Amino acid sequence: MSESQTLQEAWEDITPSFGHMLQPGLDTSHNVILYLEDISVSFDGFKALNKLNLTIDVGELRCIIGPNGAGKTTMMDVITGKTRPDTGTCFFGQTLDLTRMTEPQIAHAGIGRKFQKPTIFENHSVFENLELAMKTDKRAWVSLFAWLNSEGRDRISDTLKLIRLDGEADRQAGLLSHGQKQWLEIGMLLMQEPQLLLLDEPVAGMTDDETERTGELFKTLAGKHSLVVVEHDMAFIEQLGGKVTVLHEGSVLAEGNLATVQADPRVIEVYLGR
Amino acid sequence: MRTPFIIRLLSAMPRSGWIALAVFAAITLVVMPALHLWVPESSPFHVSTYVITLGGKILCYAIVALAMDLIWGYAGILSLGHGVFFALGGYVFGMYLMRQIGTDGSYQSLLPDFMVFLDWKELPWYWGVSDSFPLTLLLVLAVPALVAYVFGYFAFRSRIKGVYFSIITQALTFAAMLLFFRNETGFGGNNGFTDFKRILGHDITSPGMRVILFSLSALVLMLTLLLSRYLVTSKFGRVLAAIRDSESRVMFMGYNPLHYKLVIWALSAMLCGIAGALYVPQVGIINPSEMSPANSIEIAIWVAVGGRGTLIGPVIGAALVNLSKSYFTVAFPEYWLFFLGALFVGVTLWLPEGVVGLWKRIKARSAA
Ligand SMILES: Nc1ncnc2c1ncn2[C@@H]1O[C@H](COP(=O)(O)OP(=O)(O)OP(=O)(O)O)[C@@H](O)[C@H]1O
Ligand SMILES: [Mg+2]
């Protein structure tokens, strides 16, 4: 890491406010919200991502499939700033270079993420989980004096209804069922009002009924938000009905609607060859 | 509409908490001072000098325990170096006390005795404001907080966590102890500061001064408790607990954990510094042994015994452990450390939530 880069990071730590106030509004003039080009990531010589290219349009609902270890989660790590790519570019809108931003900055810019393993705050109540996620000034000294106003309360109760947890607001989140935890995490994501939602296996562990309701929810979100959904559940992907991208060994193997992709001989080989 | 701050403060604690606090205030601010000052020694109701001094000491330790609970219990950061912040506050106030001795030292010099002994001709620059009481108070707050801030900035920025963080805090206090042991450092070497005479011109050993220091310690403890209650029930406290449980998740929600950790870490150090400054005039001495690694570990034991993450628990833990310490070190001095070690192991194995957890369990059982 070069010295100037270290200084730059140090400066951002000292002046978090400037960091996000000077953030230009998201420029999506070319109707593209996310743009990955030639992204490579390797772990100890193993290429988890290999020259990955991906473009997501504004308001799109994109599904990503691929066998285990294809690099789906790693791709999300790159977009959210958790992993720095070895090479390649990664832009949010036309102007925001995600490879140069920290995790909180990327979150502020408008990218929300749901993790593969549900990560809600088990010791906090359902209500508090949503409160923490709510889009607001998140600097430490502001939180010291923050007090939830009625507008915030309304937003939380609207979200509680949407994720069907309005009866559980004061319950400790750790006591929810697996499916409910998934929903809570989706609710937390929505509280952040992101423009781009990254969802890593959102319906894993849900009942068929819950899965279907999640699909309905995602379809209503698309258009207003852009969604990238990683899933193994083909019925769910069929329900969503968007464009499908198949990842294999860190790069895109095929792209198109579900039927076309499923008919692609290379895709069949990857899935059957295991 | 904004909720007035006073309402927020009042709602930070349940009614039973406020009642307990009022009782505590009455005992420490009125009853005990009165029984010490105005009831004759012959009366069985007289509160002795020993009790006031021991009580004052324990109150200071309780403040430290609270400060430790904020950082360990609520932010999940185990510091094994909090003794250094306590000692820094103590040393800063000790410098003022040394200057208050004036020419009453054994060498009748304007300089502190140890400087005369080292053949120094004038005060080092960093003793510059030690003649001023208000500036000393300012430094009592600023020095521990600043040291903590700088140390914390580098440690948290490098994302040093868990046991690694605990180890470097041990190294911090050990290094500080070695530094203060040196005569050239200018803080009295291994003897430290002692033989204090006055505060603001008043005799430091007079019953009135003793009572003032005791009650002041109690007052600071109560204010610290209120502040802590406010913090842990505020949004800040909820973010902190969230950082403790899953730091990366908090970052993806757009919070910068570094700032949150730094605020609570520096505040915790500042509270320790205040406790140290109250402690030194009451025990009459400060030396580098306060920074020994074992001292800082002991602080963690108070918190564990009382129940971490409960605020009131650490206060009780500090009192219990130190009361038994003052009993043991007289009755069986050589067994104290074994007792302390056994206590720690016992609490870790059977009482993970300390005394407060035990109390909750008993209450739950009797309710069932
Ligand atoms: N931090 C890491 N260190 C080393 N290897 C890693 C790391 N993270 C991921 N990998 C490897 O990179 C490859 C891609 O992992 P990734 O988690 O992105 O796959 P995935 O497509 O999300 O798979 P799954 O469907 O099982 O969730 C895997 O082989 C994994 O073992
Ligand atoms: Mg994955």
Q: Per-residue pLDDT tens for A195-207?
A: 999 999 999 888 8
Among residues A14, A20, A222, which one has the least CA distance to residue A109? A20
pLDDT for residue A226 is more than 60: yes
Determine whether the interchain pair A128/B238 forms a contact, defined as Cβ–Cβ distance below 8 Å: yes
Neighbours of A15 (CB within 10 A): 12
The verdict on residue B329 lying in a domain is no
The verdict on residue B180 lying in a domain is yes
Among residues A78, A70, A77, which one has the least CA distance to residue A39? A78
Could you read off the pLDDT of B209-244 as tens digits, one per residue?
A: 999 999 999 999 999 999 999 999 999 999 999 999
Determine whether the interchain pair B256/A16 forms a contact, defined as Cβ–Cβ distance below 8 Å: yes
Q: For chain A, how are helix, strand and coil distributed in percent, rounded to 5?
A: 45, 25, 30
**Quick check: A153 contacting B, CB < 8 Å?**
no
Give the pLDDT of residue A14: 39
The verdict on residue B340 lying in a domain is no
Would you say B294 and B83 are in contact if contact means Cβ atoms under 8 Å apart? no
What's the token pair of residue B133?
Answer: 């009481």
Q: Tell me how far apart the alpha carbons of residues B80 and B178 are, in angstroms, rounded to a whole number.
A: 16
**Quick check: A139 contacting B, CB < 8 Å?**
yes
Residue A145, SS3? helix
Q: Tell me how far apart the alpha carbons of residues B310 and B73 are, in angstroms, rounded to a whole number.
A: 8
Residue nearest (by alpha carbon) to ligand 1 atom 5: A43
Residues A103-123: what's their mean pLDDT?
88
pLDDT for residue A1 is more than 60: no
Domains of chain A: 30-272 (3.40.50.300)
Among residues B74, B8, B78, which one has the least CA distance to residue B242? B74
Write out chain A residues lying below 8 Å of B256, CB-based.
13, 16, 102, 104, 138-140
Q: Tell me how far apart the alpha carbons of residues A250 and A245 are, in angstroms, rounded to a whole number.
A: 12
Would you say A130 and A188 are in contact if contact means Cβ atoms under 8 Å apart? yes
| Closest Cβ opposite residue B251 in set A103, A128, A146 | A103
Give the pLDDT of residue B252: 83
pLDDT for residue A5 is more than 80: no
The verdict on residue B271 lying in a domain is yes
Q: How far is CA A49 from CA A38, A43, A77, A80, B178, in A?
A: 9, 10, 11, 15, 50
Would you say B82 and B67 are in contact if contact means Cβ atoms under 8 Å apart? yes
**Is any atom of ligand 1 closer than 6 Å to the C-beta of A117?**
no
Give this complex's ipTM: 0.83
Q: Tell me how far apart the alpha carbons of residues B319 and B316 are, in angstroms, rounded to a whole number.
A: 5
Could you read off the pLDDT of B15-42 as tens digits, one per residue?
A: 999 999 999 999 999 999 999 999 998 9
A200 alpha carbon, closest ligand: 2
**Strand ranges (DSSP E) for A108-263?**
111-114, 196-200, 226-230, 243-248, 251-256
The answer to whether the pTM exceeds 0.90 is no
Give the pLDDT of residue A19: 35
pLDDT for residue B60 is more than 70: yes
Residues B331-358: what's their mean pLDDT?
88
The verdict on residue B301 lying in a domain is no
Domain count, chain B: 1
DSSP B110: S
Write out chain A residues lying below 8 Å of B262, CB-based.
140
Residues B264-272: what's their mean pLDDT?
98
Would you say B119 and B111 are in contact if contact means Cβ atoms under 8 Å apart? no
Give the pLDDT of residue B241: 95
Q: Tell me how far apart the alpha carbons of residues A135 and B239 are, in angstroms, rounded to a whole number.
A: 14
What's the token pair of residue A98?
Answer: 């995600």
The verdict on residue B5 lying in a domain is no
Q: Residue B352 phi/psi, 5° resolution?
A: -55, -25
| Closest Cβ opposite residue B241 in set A102, A124, A144 | A124
pLDDT for residue A2 is more than 90: no
Could you read off the pLDDT of B289-324 as tens digits, one per residue?
A: 999 999 999 999 999 999 999 999 999 999 999 999
What's the token pair of residue B178?
Answer: 């070695």
Mutation test residue for ligand 1: of A41, A50, A68, A271, the one with most atoms within 8 Å of CB: A68
Give the pLDDT of residue A25: 67
Residue-range definition of the domain harbouring residue B83: 12-294
The verdict on residue B313 lying in a domain is no
The verdict on residue B312 lying in a domain is no
| Closest Cβ opposite residue B238 in set A82, A113, A132 | A132
